[in-house]
Amino acid sequence: MGENEVISGDRKGGAKPKAFSDDEHAWHLFRTLRWKDDICCLYCECDQVKRHSKRGGGIQYYRCKACGKNFTDATGTIFHRLRIPLSKVFYFAHLLNVGTPVNRIHKRLGIAKSAAFRLAKKLRTSSWYDEITTLLEREKATGNITARQR
Ligand SMILES: [Zn+2]
């Protein structure tokens, strides 16, 4: 393994955590942080929430049975209506967290430079940043990896 690469094998799609390439899994992880065990309505705080379908690569839609409003896993967070898939955003957050310069991240992930700087700022100032990067570290450490599963 190359020690200079932050994550070895990423160019070949090798030993990279699932969370960095699989949107379904990335949303699943985000749900474990956001909702823990209880989903409650963002508008009326009722816990009678019905799950709708999943869309856009794994984002879950919900409808509150009490007030009838709809929301998603991302409503009210920085992940709402992002143009970049969540797994890529997670990879971005991870690279940022381990000190990779945004100038390199944007090339590596194929994101426009200006969009990358905006996303970096959004992530760093978000209350989710620490929780997400901690969770991603754990994903890496526990070997929840696409290519080399135990
Ligand atoms: Zn409600």
Predicted pLDDT at 65: 96
pLDDT digits (tens, 9 = 90+) for 11-41: 444 467 899 999 999 999 999 999 987 899 9
Task: Report residues near ion ligand 1: CB below 5 Å.
Answer: 41, 43-44, 46, 64, 66-67
- Please give the distance, rounded to the nearest whole angstrom, from the Cα atom of residue 51 to the centre of ligand 1: 13
- Please give the distance, rounded to the nearest whole angstrom, from the Cα atom of residue 83 to the centre of ligand 1: 27
- Please give the distance, rounded to the nearest whole angstrom, from the Cα atom of residue 48 to the centre of ligand 1: 8
Question: What six digits make up the tokens of 121?
Answer: 């700022």
pLDDT digits (tens, 9 = 90+) for 85-133: 999 999 999 999 999 999 999 999 999 999 999 999 999 999 999 999 9
- Where exactly are the structural domains of the chain? 10-141
Q: Above 80 in pLDDT, residue 4? A: no
Sheet holding 70-72, edge to edge: 49-55, 59-64, 70-72
Q: Please state the φ and ψ torsions of residue 144, each to the nearest 5 degrees.
A: -80, 75
- Please give the distance, rounded to the nearest whole angstrom, from the Cα atom of residue 45 to the centre of ligand 1: 6
Q: Please state the φ and ψ torsions of residue 95, each to the nearest 5 degrees.
A: -60, -40
CB atoms within 10 A of CB 92: 23
pLDDT, mean of residues 46-74: 92
pLDDT digits (tens, 9 = 90+) for 138-150: 988 886 655 444 3
Asked if 42 and 32 touch (Cβ cutoff 8 Å), the reply is no
Q: What is the C-alpha to C-alpha distance for residues 39 and 17, in angstroms, rounded to an integer?
A: 26
Predicted pLDDT at 142: 81
